[in-house]
């Protein structure tokens, strides 16, 4: 009889902890139905965060490389650092607007905003990689005047004017 009570208590404890765990699960994609805004948004957050880590490393590499370029001085380095900080602010504001303009209900606007952030971060990473490759080539070939041209692609909006 005592063993039976212990078994019932263990079953109840397991059921209670399982029920609590499933209600407390909100911060992972698998906590939500596939295709839901929360599942989609959390998957996009993971993708954006992974890309942000790669972007941060690549941007640091670009700044160091620019520091070793003969034609690029401390003003360019400071401008590069400031531009990245401002780009992050721009990305946030732009994507918040994109999400709000969808007119979607529930948590979909934030999901669309995160998708926008993931896309812009990926695009930024491609530009930084391209600028880094270009700068490597310019330095290797002693093409000092090309060094600043390599960084122009980091300001695509201003360069379209």
pLDDT (0 to 100) of residue 127: 96
pLDDT (0 to 100) of residue 93: 97
Total number of domains in the chain: 1
148 found inside a domain: yes
Where in the sequence is the domain holding 93, given as residue range(s)? 37-159
pLDDT (0 to 100) of residue 15: 46
Burial profile 97-114: b = 16 or more Cβ within 10 angstroms, e = fewer: ebbeeeeeeeebbbbbbb
Choose among 48, 29, 39, 28: nearest CA to 107. Answer: 39
pLDDT (0 to 100) of residue 147: 84
Q: How far is CA 2 from the centre of its chain?
A: 56
The yes-or-no verdict on residue 45 having pLDDT over 50 is: yes
pLDDT (0 to 100) of residue 155: 84
23 found inside a domain: no
7 found inside a domain: no
80, 149 contact by CB (below 8 A): no
What is d(CA 93, CA 98) in angstroms, rounded to the nearest whole number?
9
pLDDT in tens, 121-150: 999 999 999 999 999 998 888 877 788 888
Scan for tokens 């360019």, then name that residue. Answer: 76
pLDDT (0 to 100) of residue 153: 86
Among 14-23, 46-55, 59-68, 82-91, where is mean pLDDT lowest? 14-23
CATH number at residue 55: 1.20.1270.180
25 found inside a domain: no
24 found inside a domain: no
The mean per-residue pLDDT over the stretch 99-108 comes to: 90
Question: What pTM did the predictor assign?
Answer: 0.77
147 found inside a domain: yes
pLDDT (0 to 100) of residue 124: 96
pLDDT (0 to 100) of residue 5: 40
The yes-or-no verdict on residue 86 having pLDDT over 60 is: yes
91 found inside a domain: yes
Confidence band of 9 (pLDDT split at 50, 70, 90): very low
128 found inside a domain: yes
pLDDT (0 to 100) of residue 31: 82
What is d(CA 136, CA 140) in angstroms, rounded to the nearest whole number?
6
């Amino acid at each position: 009889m005592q063993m039976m009570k212990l078994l019932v208590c263990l079953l109840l404890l397991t059921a209670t902890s399982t029920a609590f765990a499933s209600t407390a699960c909100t911060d992972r994609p698998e906590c939500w139905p596939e295709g839901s805004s929360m599942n989609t948004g959390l998957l996009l957050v993971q993708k954006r965060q992974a890309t942000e880590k790669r972007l941060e490393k690549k941007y640091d590499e670009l700044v160091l490389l620019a520091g070793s370029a003969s034609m690029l001085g401390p003003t360019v380095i400071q401008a590069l650092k400031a531009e990245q900080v401002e780009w992050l602010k721009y990305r946030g504001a732009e994507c918040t607007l994109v999400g709000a303009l969808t007119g979607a209900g529930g948590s979909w606007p934030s999901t669309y905003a995160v998708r926008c952030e993931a896309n812009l971060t990926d695009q930024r990473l491609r530009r930084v990689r391209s600028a880094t490759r270009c700068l490597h080539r310019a330095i290797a070939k002693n093409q000092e005047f090309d060094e600043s041209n390599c960084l122009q692609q980091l300001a695509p909006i201003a360069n379209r004017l």
